[in-house]
Amino acid sequence: MRLRVLGCSGGIGGRHLRTTSFLVDSDVLIDAGSGVGDLSLAELTQIDHIFVTHSHLDHVTSIPFLVDTVGGMRARPITVHATGATIEILKNHLFNWAIWPDFTEIPSAEAPFLRYQEIELGRTVTLGGRDFTPLPAIHTVPAVGYHLRSGTGSLVFSGDTGPNDELWHIVNQIENLRVLIIETAFSNKERQLAEVSKHLCPSMLADELAKLERDPEIWITHLKPGEIELTMQEVEECSASRRPRMLQNGQTFEF
């Protein structure tokens, strides 16, 4: 499997800052933040599946534009994989005819541009020999992370989450874990905000990584613009033994 970072920022502001989205091979998205908009039209038409971590706008903002742009160019609908709770939020608050048309009914309910597929924690979805397993996340709305498994290696993406003992119980059982992408949205001076919004700051990240019994590459995502340097300095100070690095647009991982 090959994962390409399309966006990994906690905000916008310049061509290097795009919100969360990862392209797996050429046909699967993990989240669909603003980074999807940098793909070419030909690349957009190849996307068959979107695995959504949660309903916040920085993770779903490109789904409406993607479906509207390429729906008529495709022979089958794009499938959005999400928890039942997240699907209901998307139906009620995004594809609701008020914010955006309901593409599960366009051009017809029998042959739509978009379809939903409900996922469950721990239940693996296999696509062309690639496994996608939802992992627990603790956030202000229903949320998950994902375990991607190729057969020879694994990558874990935490999604947006606060402290999460259940996640580490599962991750520590992944013997072929090569890459961990984990969020750290705020600097330590904003720890209270991190706690309220159910994100991590560097000191909280250190507490979480202390629960990790594997030794994957660790990459930090969802840094807030304006505090990138400060937050990464604090991450390195708090978790130096783990050698965490900042995730950046355009990076690729093969596993």
CATH architecture of residue range(s) 2-254: 4-Layer Sandwich (3.60)
Q: What is the pLDDT of residues 156-179, one digit of tens each?
A: 999 999 999 999 999 999 999 999
Domain ranges of the chain: 2-254
CA 108 from centroid of its chain's CA atoms = 30
pLDDT at 14: 86
CA distance to 58, 170, 179, 244, per residue, from 214 (Å): 30, 11, 10, 14
Q: What would the two tokens of residue 30 be?
A: 């993990």
Alpha carbon distance 94, 96 (integer Å)? 5
Mean pLDDT of 188-194: 98
| Predicted local confidence at residue 201, as pLDDT | 98
Other Cβ atoms less than 10 A from the Cβ of 11: the count is: 17
Largest CA distance in the chain: 55
- pLDDT-based confidence at 229, cuts 50/70/90? very high
Out of 12-21, 65-74, 163-172, 174-183, pick the least confident.
12-21
Contact 191, 201 (CB under 8 A): yes
Q: Could you tell me the pLDDT band of residue 98, with boundaries at 50, 70 and 90?
A: very high
pLDDT score of 255 more than 90 = yes
What value does the mean pLDDT take over residues 24-49? 98
* Model confidence at 215: pLDDT above 90: yes
CB 3 within 8 A of CB 29: no
**Token pair belonging to 69:** 């742009």
- Percentage with pLDDT > 70 across the chain: 100
